[in-house]
Homo-oligomer: A and B are copies of this chain.
Amino acid sequence: MSSTAPYELIYWPGIPGRGEFIRLALEEAGAEYTDTAHQEGGVQQVLSLIDRKFQGDPSGPPPFAPPVLKHGDLRISQTPNILLYLGPRLGLTPSGDGAYQVNSLALTALDGLSNEPHDTHHPIAVELYYEDQVEESKRRAESYRTNRLPKFLSYFERVLAPQVAQGRPWLYGDTLTYADLVFYQCIDGLKFAFPRAVSRLERTGQYPNVFKLYETVKDRPRIKAYLESDRRQKYSQGIYRHYPELDDAE
């Protein structure tokens, strides 16, 4: 495997989606990469990899879904798996067993702050439109805003408290890891999807370190430059969607 090859991100154009977790890692590290979201024929590359006839090749088994990362002769999929691969290469994973703690924190953020928000607008079936499951979405979103989201924010506040007490704003260890980037993107997506609920939770003052970490990551020079660039795509019909009826009542 050629470790000096540029990284190739293969993901749908038009939404940040799950590809964004990979982009933020590559951007923070200043890595050289290509992105099918900005390439002509990019969609075709995604489609050919998830085609029902593609059985994989020497680069790897077929991916179930994007994001997919190609690096030299290797092709891998699954968001947390790609981050696991990139982390040590991009200086975003601590050495030793801390790598498992970072992986665990990223998995928990992806579960509770990305997959669960997705299910608030698709609680019944991913193959149906939102419009076909609005009433169920309202029930699920209420549960999410009232129970699950505060539970996950409390959890991360608990993870951060002893860190901050030692002068570290990060979820783990003494430098930024990819878990911090995942966490940032989740909170950013939640602010888009549920602006009233997130604002209410922030105003309780119960999660000061959670919202501080969000700002700290947002202000990283390379992240800031990325967010201001046209490489950063707008939220729309992806994981994080803004339907006012799913947010707190005004």
Binding site for B on A (CB under 8 A): 1, 52, 54-56, 60-64, 74, 76-78, 80-81, 84-85, 97, 100-101, 103-105, 107-108, 112, 115, 119, 123-128, 136, 139-140, 143, 147-148, 152, 154-155, 158-159, 161-162, 171-172
Contact A62 B147 (CB under 8 A): no
Nearest residue (CB) in B for A133 is B139
CB atoms of B112 and A64 under 8 A apart:
yes
Classify the secondary structure of A's interface with B: helix
Q: Are A62's CB and B158's CB within 8 A?
A: yes
Given A56-B159, A84-B100: A107 and B78 interface contact (C-beta under 8 Å): yes
Q: Number of copies of this chain in the oligomer?
A: 2
Q: Min CB distance, A68 to chain B, in Å?
A: 10
A115 CB contacts on chain B under 8 angstroms = 115
Q: A52-B154, A61-B101, A84-B84 are in contact. List 12 more A-B contacts (CB 8 A).
A: A52-B158, A55-B159, A61-B104, A62-B155, A76-B104, A78-B104, A80-B80, A80-B107, A81-B100, A123-B136, A128-B143, A136-B139
